[in-house]
Structure 1
Amino acid sequence: MFELHGPKRLYDIVTGDETWFPFFIIPPKYLNRMWVDGQRDRHIVLRPGLQSRKRMFRVFFNYSGPLAVDILPQDTATAAIYFVQNVFSQVKSAINEQRPKVCTSRTLLLHDIAGPHKARATTQSLQELGI
């Protein structure tokens, strides 16, 4: 299938994945040290919550480099609707710009089986795009 003059070529493959990136630095313990006398209580040092201080990044790329980079807005759940409307539109426009004659008709998408990737809205959108 991927032979020299076969029906598919490596530049037809688009792959992508997502990951969580924390965007804060936890201060080292020695910065929490302080002098207190016997009449005052020690200050309470709060650490930032891990759940509220990270963002999901999605990157789709092909043989020539990144096609789309999406940063999920804070306090937004990952859903198939967001995935289809925001991410696929970026991927489609990047592919159409790189390959105006073929567009997305020969594109093979390689990604895992996460919930938004295998949802009905996602598969219907991929079929409409010819991916």
Structure 2
Amino acid sequence: MDKENVRFYIRLRTALGIEARTIHDELYTVFGDEAPSYRTVARWSHLFREGREEVEDEDRPGRPVTETTSENIEQVQSIIDDDPFVTVDELQEQTGLSHGTVYRIVSDHLKLMKITARYVPKHLTDFQRAERVRICKENLAKFERGSWKLCDVVTGDESWFYHKQTGRKLSNAAWVKKGDPPPTIVRRSRFAPRTLVCIFFNSTGPLLIHYVQRGQTIDHEYYIENCLYPVINEIKSQRSSFGTRSIKLHHDNGTPHFHQEVLNYLESEGITVMPHPPNSPDLAPCDFWLFDLIK
């Protein structure tokens, strides 16, 4: 049902002196529920009696009905290319387009989605990236051959837990193509009340959750006495028949972790230390999964 044809019919019947109620009944008989309401018929009938001849809608001020033009799409794309962290509200302000139009351009035409930036401690050199690949492949090959088993892996690390979360991750969300990796932002220190916690776990659950007293520094002696001793004792209690046999310890390259006395102690207990690439917390389960989940 074309609305302009309906209006032309209303105009014709009005010119013949037919009342709006009768015109509406005629339209309803033909079109049923798709017919215009009586109020609409009466309004157009009144306009035609007042001398209006056009059946088309008058031009209305404001934005055009169709705003997803190629020019607008290119404009939005250019702004996002300059600043991938720009918000929809900022795009709306800079382009003059409606909120809905901006969102349609971004999601439907540019195929972008906004995800939160991932914090990284530092940017890696080419050599460090190559080492990441090499070490990961070597570790994976041992699991695939069956010489290493996931149930024998113990992983642990320390992390600061702030008593109150400040800031919002949404402020770090940026537009990226679907399937592309998230952007990265270097984390900055925040001076707020916090507690240092050491956590170790394996495939069955936690082995140790240790809260470090305020002002205490974790050196190799503290690490052995308060972390490794309790963890190894817990392993022995859970594996009374096997003890620490075949156990693989995965921790990062923190200074206390690779002190010679720490390595000697782990060797004396028959524990193998899994190699870990430098500056790669995203490859440690505590960092890329547990701590992020808790925080």
Which TM-score band applies after superposition, normalised by the shorter structure? 0.7 to 0.9
In the alignment, what sits opposite 1:101?
241
State the SS of the aligned residue for 1:2.
helix
In the alignment, what sits opposite 1:13?
153
Aligned mates of 2:197, 2:265 — CA distance in 1: 21
Amino acid at match of 1:109: L
State the Cα distance separating 1:24 from its structure 2 match. Answer: 5.1
Aligned mates of 1:25, 1:56 — CA distance in 2: 15
Structure 1: where are the runs of 5+ without partners? 27-48
Structure 2: where are the runs of 5+ without partners? 1-141, 167-189, 272-295
In the alignment, what sits opposite 1:59?
199
State the Cα distance separating 1:94 from its structure 2 match. Answer: 1.2
State the Cα distance separating 1:3 from its structure 2 match. Answer: 5.1
Which structure has more helix as a fraction of its residues? 2
User: Identity percentage over the alignment?
Assistant: 31
In the alignment, what sits opposite 2:191?
50
Aligned-pair Cα RMSD in Å: 2.1
Higher relative contact order (CA 8 A, sep 6+): 1
Give the alignment of 1:61-76 within 5 angstroms: 61-76=201-216
Q: What is the CA deviation profile of residues 18-59 of structure 1, one whole-angstrom value per residue up to 9, with x for unaligned ones? A: 110122578xxxxxxxxxxxxxxxxxxxxxx936x3221111
Aligned mates of 1:102, 1:118 — CA distance in 2: 25
Which structure has more strand as a fraction of its residues? 1
Out of 252, 255, 261, the residue aligned to residue 115 of structure 1 is 255
TM-score (normalizing by structure 2): 0.34
How many corresponding residue pairs?
107
State the Cα distance separating 1:2 from its structure 2 match. Answer: 3.1
Aligned mates of 1:71, 1:125 — CA distance in 2: 22
Amino acid at match of 1:88: L
